[in-house]
Structure 1
Amino acid sequence: MKLQRLKAAALVLAAVVLLTGCETMPAAGGAPGGLGAISSVLGGGSGGGSRAGGVMDVIQGASAAFKDYSAEEQRAMGNDFASVLLGARPLLRNDAVQRYVSQVGWWVAAQAEKPKDKDGKDIQFAWRFGVIDSDAVNAYATPGGFVFVTVGLMRQLKSESELAGVLGHEIAHVTRGHYLAAIKKGGFAQAAGGVVQARSGNAMVSSAMVGLVRNLYTKGLDQSDEFDADRQGVLYAARAGYAPIGLPTVLNMYAATGSGSNQAYEVLFSTHPAPKDRLEKLQPFMSSKFGSAANVSNEARYDAIKRQLR
């Protein structure tokens, strides 16, 4: 029964990928503040080489954990991680919402750096974005490029720039190798490698991988990794032409409306530093690096998508 559930979740994800795979960022009819405007600000967006309003690439280098895994191994782990996450909660069955989040995610991810794998080659992440049908307020990423946000979180956001900031934070966990480092630090590297090797010709997720994933997402990442993902996520969103204040606005929302005793925020607060601490860490970065950044937020377009979640 459990295997059937995982297969069903995988089929849903595959359907979303097929639905969104040939889409590009829409010009939104050329309306002011649309993604056409974002594209003109960036000159096309070239996978990390672009700048938005003079934003400088002030954060360099990714985790050394990439040197322990090839791109293929990361993708295999990512597939398994995603299967476990979707086995707990399925994707939202709404093609328009899934397509929208994927489009925003791909655009923000296009601004990220490409780290090197253990063979010194650029890692081409197979980015996949999805909305999980859960009332919890949270977002997740996996090695290899899966990124998920929950319906509960999307209901709390107020603009596309806020969504871009959240997605940028999760994208940074992937590009900076945070989960790979956590696997190694937690003593799971051998287990993960064994699962990757065993997966050839076998689509079933092992109990060892299920335990590994549950442990990682229950424990959370190091606080330093969360602070790093905040800074890098703001940078990715700003490069994409969004108002860099998007993610800090979300953190202020967490501080104002959430708590560890609130069931919707329980996992988020138990696995992340306190919002006020994250904001304090971001403040020097925000005040010194984004004075002339773009200010696109796209509230109206986000609100149209948000209405479909009610």
Structure 2
Amino acid sequence: MKRKLLLALLAIICVPLLWSCARDYVTGKSTFSLMSESQEVALGREADPQILAEYGAYDDAALTAYVSGIGQEIARVCHRPNLEYNFRVVDSPVVNAFALPGGYVYFTRGILAHFNSEDELAGVMGHEIGHVVARHGAEQQTRVQLATLGLGLGSIISEDFQKISGALQTGVSLLFLKYGRSQESESDKLGADYSTRLGYDAHQMAGFFRTIARLSEGSGQQIPTFLSTHPDPGQREVRVGQLASEFQTKGPYTPKKTDRSDYLRRIDGVVYGDDPRKGFVENNMFYHPELRFQFPVPQKWIVVNSAQQVQIINPEKNAGVQMSLGEGKTPAAAADAFISGAQATVLRRENKRVNGMAAVLLESNVQSQNNVLQVLSYFIQKEQYLYVFHGYTTVALFKNYAGAFEHVMAGFDHLRNQAALTKKPYRVRIERARQGADLATVLRSFKMKEEMLNELSILNGIKLEERLQTGSMVKIVRE
């Protein structure tokens, strides 16, 4: 008992020795942090290649240079202009933007497709740079470090996912850091401030929140991180609009001459939605043309495909399947590595053949922080690659989902649908309205399908009933 008390006292005494003061670049005051600026930069530098490995860089040098150029302009007028900033466009259809500590800022091709002006891009860019300036990522990482020191703040990273996946790399784990309401509000203010300094109209940044809200409601997509802590985007739109007006009247404001058509030309041809060359779902089947495999997907389950893994999540979000390339020379070696790494308790193990391919089936229990997970795993050798599937849920729910897990994994096969090899990605195309009419009529004139009209309305940032003039530029989607 005395020894435990001594250890507790040592923890209380030693923790303050790790504290350090950092500068708040916006207010100039000192602030508490466990991370120095050099450590912050090193963290971002370490995470950057991991993020690019996870999502992939979007292959469009001109678009990337354009986004980076706007980012560098905003960086020069922000409160941390001496930091080295790096801007990336990542190959993801998800509508999102995020920043890592140390000046690394990422925009998905999905969000670039949904912007309708350079002003919107600049406003969100200012918001993300605001997170870097205010050291929000470092603050959140500090909270994670404090949790590991036993101060009871709790883990931000989902341990259930971590237990199955193995230790998360730094870059991917940083994406699990959630900013608080006050941090998001501060970045909104900084985004409006910085973009206004360059002459952009931050009212358009405010309007983009409306686009995001419509997108989330209409398609079920996950709300981006810069909206995730705000349950009411409408209130946020109003607040940012007020900030835009304040900054425009407070100081010298010379409106920048931006042309919506110029921005639209820059995104003409950007890939829209999943790139089928890197995997796509059609008729409840996932196809990967490059690696030439396929497997079934349970109806209505959500598929999240990235460069390194495929995740399939049930509608209730209490069960999932993860597929990735495995390590090891044989399925048996990969199974052994999983058992050791996850400290799994083996319930069943069988050697199998899956559509002619050597495989190991493993059923196990894995202890996480909050639950005992029951996991069905398949380790399958296909030519030179080893594919690993994990289906997991709680022990209590396992019987409900074991059939779905088995359906996915036992259905893994060589690519049988040869049409998948020639499937082309959909792209955003810019056209001009042939006549003055409402958006719905204009879209129909380009033979857009009825079920696509609402989605295209969101993509264009206007309602279907809004009228366009002859010659107005409009986004459509086609191969």
Aligned twin of 1:61: 27
The counterpart of 1:262, out of the listed 201, 205, 220, is: 220
User: Are the counterparts in 2 of residues 260 and 270 from structure 1 also a CA contact under 8 Å?
Assistant: no
1-structure distance, mates of 2:39, 2:225: 28
Letter in 1 for 2:189: R
User: Are the counterparts in 2 of residues 259 and 269 from structure 1 also a CA contact under 8 Å?
Assistant: no
2-structure distance, mates of 1:214, 1:100: 26
- 1:137-216 correspondence runs (5 A): 137-187=95-145, 210=169, 213-216=171-174
Instruction: Say whether residues 1:91 and 2:91 are aligned partners.
Output: no
Match of 1:308, SS? coil
Deviations 1:192-214 (A, max 9, x none): xxxxxxxxxxxxxxx7662x554
2-structure distance, mates of 1:283, 1:246: 8
Aligned twin of 1:80: 46
Letter in 2 for 1:172: G
* Cα separation, partners in 2 of 1:261 and 1:80, compared to 1, 3 Å: farther
Aligned twin of 2:77: 111
Question: How far has the Cα of 1:130 moved from its partner?
Answer: 1.1
User: Are the counterparts in 2 of residues 242 and 295 from structure 1 also a CA contact under 8 Å?
Assistant: yes
Question: How far has the Cα of 1:273 moved from its partner?
Answer: 1.4
Aligned twin of 1:301: 262
- 1:230-249 correspondence runs (5 A): 230-249=188-207
What TM-score, normalized by structure 1, do the two folds share? 0.65
Deviations 1:88-118 (A, max 9, x none): 201101110111111111001111012xxxx
Instruction: Say whether residues 1:221 and 2:221 are aligned partners.
Output: no
Question: How far has the Cα of 1:304 moved from its partner?
Answer: 1.4
Instruction: Say whether residues 1:271 and 2:228 are aligned partners.
Output: yes
* Cα separation, partners in 2 of 1:139 and 1:66, compared to 1, 3 Å: farther
Letter in 1 for 2:131: H
Runs of 5+ consecutive residues of structure 1 not aligned to the other structure: 1-58, 115-122, 192-206
Deviations 1:267-287 (A, max 9, x none): 548734132232243344234
* Cα separation, partners in 2 of 1:189 and 1:301, compared to 1, 3 Å: farther
Structure showing the higher strand proportion among its residues: 2
Runs of 5+ consecutive residues of structure 2 not aligned to the other structure: 1-24, 150-165, 271-426, 428-479
2-structure distance, mates of 1:139, 1:222: 16
**Alignment RMSD, CA only?**
2.8
Match of 2:199, SS? coil
Question: How far has the Cα of 1:65 moved from its partner?
Answer: 5.4
2-structure distance, mates of 1:253, 1:63: 36
Match of 1:134, SS? coil
Match of 1:250, SS? helix
RCO comparison, higher one (Cα < 8 Å, 6+): 1
Match of 2:88, SS? strand
Letter in 2 for 1:127: Y
2-structure distance, mates of 1:270, 1:249: 13
User: Are the counterparts in 2 of residues 84 and 213 from structure 1 also a CA contact under 8 Å?
Assistant: yes
Letter in 2 for 1:298: D
Aligned twin of 2:10: none
1-structure distance, mates of 2:167, 2:88: 25
User: Are the counterparts in 2 of residues 65 and 180 from structure 1 also a CA contact under 8 Å?
Assistant: no
User: Are the counterparts in 1 of residues 119 and 202 from structure 2 also a CA contact under 8 Å?
Assistant: yes
User: Are the counterparts in 2 of residues 172 and 232 from structure 1 also a CA contact under 8 Å?
Assistant: yes
What TM-score, normalized by structure 2, do the two folds share? 0.43
* Cα separation, partners in 2 of 1:175 and 1:208, compared to 1, 3 Å: farther
Letter in 2 for 1:295: P
Question: How far has the Cα of 1:224 moved from its partner?
Answer: 1.0
Which shows bigger deviation, 286-295 or 59-68?
A: 59-68
User: Are the counterparts in 2 of residues 78 and 144 from structure 1 also a CA contact under 8 Å?
Assistant: yes
- 1:19-58 correspondence runs (5 A): none
User: Are the counterparts in 2 of residues 161 and 298 from structure 1 also a CA contact under 8 Å?
Assistant: no
User: Are the counterparts in 2 of residues 165 and 247 from structure 1 also a CA contact under 8 Å?
Assistant: yes
- Counting aligned pairs with the same residue, the percent is 26
